[in-house]
Structure 1
Amino acid sequence: MANAAVFDLCVVGAGMIGSAAARHASELPGTSVCLIGPEEPQDRHNNATGIFAAHYDEGRITRACDPNPVWASMAQASIKRYKDIEEKSGISFYNEVGTLMAARSNGEYMSKVQTVLKEQRIPVVNLDGRELAAKFPYLRLSANDAGVYEERNAGYISPRRLVSAQQAAAKKQGCRIIHDVVEKVSRVVKNGEYVMRVETNGGTVVESRKVLLAAGAYTDFRQLLPGFRLNQLLCPLTVALAEISEQDAAILRSMPSVIYKGDGHPELHPDFPRLPDGQVSYYMLPPIQYPDGKYYIKLGHFHAAVLARLHSAGEVKRWFETGNKALADATGKFIRSLFKGVEVLGWKQDQCVVVETPNDLPYIDTVHTQLGVATGGNGYAAKSSDEIGRIAATMMLRGWDSDIPRDTFRLRTKSAL
């Protein structure tokens, strides 16, 4: 049934970006906001909606360091607001344990990182191969590596708790939250004016002056866009959660989050996927206590290391339900070979889907004056989601408000199937 009120903005997709957009929009005086998205399913294998989200997890790396200046800028803006979001919501999600980026000392990746560090004056500690080995003796790194260590304003966030915090703050500000899946968005005429009509799987109809789509990988799988698809690819990623004891977790209590791209140590397990140039690349979270009470080290590969891509809602659903056990096992063995003096008790697999855009940056743009899009995380958006949401919400309601040129995030489309 339809709701009588016409909202100023309806955000479709209640993940990290959508929830952030709803919070920022609902901060604006006199602005009515609605956020629609499903709750996390209790059983991944019996999920009637077929929707799985990247925030159904406890660990995502956050840091300012990045080879891309746009991602670095958005990350810094978001990180500055973490504490404020925690205070407004009463929900903690940020762990400031620091982040280490290590790579081949003379490689292109580290060169780009250093350029961004200098241009944006990001405070770090630079470490050569010998210093890396001394500071992180529990990791097997290459003698050819150099490191950039962010001790402050970096570490990891719980994406699950971040979404809860954003939604709690938005709700306090008057945002209406509907836990359902949107099936169709259309523009209709009401009382001589165009309004946006949002229809959910459960039969709810919401009318709004404007709609922001933040549905990620699912944007093309419902009737959300008017006759075209997004120019994006869906990359399936595999991670392993390696269980360690509480005692070993205590030993690693000062371990930072790690991003690595280099030659790798000779003793690393060989079946872990490499980049096309043969380099080893991974991201890794320090020990985190998960809801089952156990401590896990999470490690995954970069999306450039795999060739497979997903093309339908059915493929995405099957991927989340089954994943790639062989790759998860190789990743678990890789974690075991990466650490010195830490016993890996076993591992379990998990998986996610990364939305890739042609320029590795998100889409933050309007389809027309009443419909906008904020999607395309490219595997980097969790840390920056609050700023992406702020830019998108402001774009829809007030106009462009970012030092980053609007054309940077221009929407690119493909014809409908």
Structure 2
Amino acid sequence: MESFDFIVIGGGMMGAPCARYLAEAGHRVALVCPPEPARYADSAGPFASHWDAARITRHVASDPVWARASARSIARYSDLEARSGRRIYHETGALMAGLRDGPLADWTAGFLRVADGVEGAARLDAAEVRDRLGIALPVGAVSSFEATGGGWMDPRAMRAAQTELAQAAGATLIPQAATARAGGTVTLADGSRLAGGHVVVATGPHAGSDGLLPARPAMTVWARTVAFARLSEAEGARLAALPSLIWVPEGWDHDLYMLPPVRYPDGRLYLKIGGQKDGPTIGSGGAMRDWFHGTGDPQVGARLLAEMRRVLPGLDVEAERLGPCAVVWSRTGYPYIERLDEHVTVLCGGNGASAKCGDEWGRLGAVAATGGDPSGEGYPEGFAAAWD
């Protein structure tokens, strides 16, 4: 067996930067990370929602822990871009909007408090948002607008940059899945094995069902539907100044998110929208495979696209499509970042917001794996795992 100081299983938004930080610290690292499937419908997995072109990035959040992680990660985007030669960050501005009353009043109050400490974040009412940005929010909505420092990031480019920089620092990329772990020994899909002094399990939504951890993390994996509206070049140009948007539609008890026009790998421009409170949960590898072999829930998709048209009056769409997504919610509301024993560290629990701040969570994963305390890194909350 080939031997390493650390084996990081999972090359997503947390695992890839964790491997980079470990390799750049001089450790011998293996990053076990299967490539993106050519077509989900033909793949047995593992699956990952970060195989996408855009995720919202912003400093403002309803929770100061997430806001701090975001700020630290965003501050490092330019270094990652410069060293990798990849475009990761697109500064289009970011708008968060909510209502002061109703079921999400505390959420609104939370992001407004955080926004008061973010340089350049301005409060706008619904009329100002419509006049300045062309976005039709519910009457009475209050928002925070980051004209600078917010926008969107490309998770594929981020993952590629982190992986390439990890390799440049000496890490070995293992482009296949891990199927088992016994102590520091990891078995791969082809039957071969790797020996590691320590293993970091960063397998996202699969962490609850892949058997690589000593117990099941207390987390819920939600099957989510996302919707895409394809735009003509002219309509994309008309909407080119749109910011990333998180808002609560009138009468809703949860928020939605929408990206500005983004060019996807097929060369077309798309608006993407998502956000869902309930829906099916995923508890096994088979259920995950079945979900990602489909195209999402058509009823959820129709509601999302209707709200897209409501918030963007006059929107002209060429075509619409839906897609599957999976979101992990931990019991604590924060990632699980903990060295469990001499053999394994857990690094999972994105809570629907990890793409933009994955670099920081990956850094903290490296801190934990090497025996440090992530809660001593300037955060008011710890990141200890909870278990079912």
The alignment's TM-score, normalised by the length of structure 1, stands at 0.88
Structure 1 match to 2:114: 116
How far the C-alpha of 1:327 sits from its partner, in A, is 2.0
Structure 2 match to 1:410: 384
Could you list the runs of 4 or more consecutive aligned residues of structure 1 that deviate by over 6 angstroms after TM superposition? Answer: none
Give the secondary-structure state (helix, strand or coil) at the position aligned to 1:82. helix
Structure 2 match to 1:289: 263
Instruction: Tell me whether 1:179 sits opposite 2:167 in the alignment.
Output: no
How far the C-alpha of 1:405 sits from its partner, in A, is 5.0
- 2:304 and 2:194 map into 1 onto residues whose CA distance is 44
Q: 1:25 aligns with which of 7, 22, 38?
A: 22
Q: 1:390 aligns with which of 351, 363, 368?
A: 363
Q: 2:210 aligns with which of 198, 219, 222?
A: 222
Give the secondary-structure state (helix, strand or coil) at the position aligned to 1:81. helix
Q: Share of identical aligned residues, percent?
A: 31
Instruction: Tell me whether 1:328 sits opposite 2:316 in the alignment.
Output: no
The alignment of Structure 1 onto Structure 2 pairs a total of residues equal to 383
- 1:204 and 1:94 map into 2 onto residues whose CA distance is 37
Within 5 Å, which residues of 2 pair with 1:59-208?
A: 59-105=54-100, 107-118=105-116, 120-137=117-134, 139-187=135-183, 196-208=184-196
Structure 2 match to 1:191: none
Instruction: Tell me whether 1:365 sits opposite 2:360 in the alignment.
Output: no
- Greater shift in the superposed pair: 398-407 or 103-112: 398-407
Instruction: Tell me whether 1:301 sits opposite 2:275 in the alignment.
Output: yes
Within 5 Å, which residues of 2 pair with 1:53-64?
A: 53-64=48-59
Q: 1:236 aligns with which of 223, 248, 272?
A: 223
Partner AA of 2:206 in structure 1: Y
How far the C-alpha of 1:109 sits from its partner, in A, is 2.1
Cα–Cα, structure 1 residues 250 and 361, in superposed 2: closer, same or farther, change >3 Å? Answer: same
How far the C-alpha of 1:398 sits from its partner, in A, is 5.0
How far the C-alpha of 1:403 sits from its partner, in A, is 2.9
Deviation by residue 1:296-333 (Cα, 9 ceiling, x = unmatched): 0000014xx21421221111111111121232233223
- Greater shift in the superposed pair: 39-48 or 326-335: 326-335
How far the C-alpha of 1:343 sits from its partner, in A, is 0.2
How far the C-alpha of 1:262 sits from its partner, in A, is 4.7
Give the secondary-structure state (helix, strand or coil) at the position aligned to 2:327. strand
Give the secondary-structure state (helix, strand or coil) at the position aligned to 2:305. helix
Partner AA of 2:290 in structure 1: R
How far the C-alpha of 1:357 sits from its partner, in A, is 0.8
Cα–Cα, structure 1 residues 403 and 356, in superposed 2: closer, same or farther, change >3 Å? Answer: same
Partner AA of 2:223 in structure 1: P
Cα–Cα, structure 1 residues 334 and 130, in superposed 2: closer, same or farther, change >3 Å? Answer: closer
Q: Which runs of 5+ in 2 are unaligned?
A: none
| 1:336–1:344 CA contact under 8 A, matched in 2 | no
How far the C-alpha of 1:90 sits from its partner, in A, is 1.3
Partner AA of 1:403 in structure 2: E
Give the secondary-structure state (helix, strand or coil) at the position aligned to 2:377. coil
Structure 1 match to 2:291: 319
How far the C-alpha of 1:86 sits from its partner, in A, is 0.9
Deviation by residue 1:111-144 (Cα, 9 ceiling, x = unmatched): 11122233x444301112221121122x221121
Within 5 Å, which residues of 2 pair with 1:245-284?
A: 245-263=232-250, 274-275=252-253, 281-284=255-258
Partner AA of 1:313 in structure 2: G
How far the C-alpha of 1:91 sits from its partner, in A, is 1.2
- 2:148 and 2:22 map into 1 onto residues whose CA distance is 29
Q: Which runs of 5+ in 1 are unaligned?
A: 188-195, 265-273
| 2:249–2:307 CA contact under 8 A, matched in 1 | no
How far the C-alpha of 1:409 sits from its partner, in A, is 0.8
Give the secondary-structure state (helix, strand or coil) at the position aligned to 2:293. helix
Structure 1 match to 2:323: 350
Deviation by residue 1:379-413 (Cα, 9 ceiling, x = unmatched): 01111100000011122125125434596211111
Give the secondary-structure state (helix, strand or coil) at the position aligned to 2:340. strand
- 2:281 and 2:209 map into 1 onto residues whose CA distance is 15
| 1:362–1:375 CA contact under 8 A, matched in 2 | yes
- Greater shift in the superposed pair: 392-401 or 163-172: 392-401
- 1:100 and 1:407 map into 2 onto residues whose CA distance is 26
Give the secondary-structure state (helix, strand or coil) at the position aligned to 1:236. strand
How far the C-alpha of 1:105 sits from its partner, in A, is 4.1
Deviation by residue 1:25-70 (Cα, 9 ceiling, x = unmatched): 11103x111100110000111113x211011100100001011110
Q: Which has the larger radius of gyration?
A: 1
Partner AA of 1:68 in structure 2: D
- Greater shift in the superposed pair: 34-43 or 317-326: 317-326
Deviation by residue 1:140-189 (Cα, 9 ceiling, x = unmatched): 211211110011221101111110111011111111000111011112xx
Give the secondary-structure state (helix, strand or coil) at the position aligned to 1:316. helix
Pairwise CA RMSD: 1.7
Cα–Cα, structure 1 residues 256 and 121, in superposed 2: closer, same or farther, change >3 Å? Answer: closer
Give the secondary-structure state (helix, strand or coil) at the position aligned to 1:142. coil
How far the C-alpha of 1:17 sits from its partner, in A, is 0.6
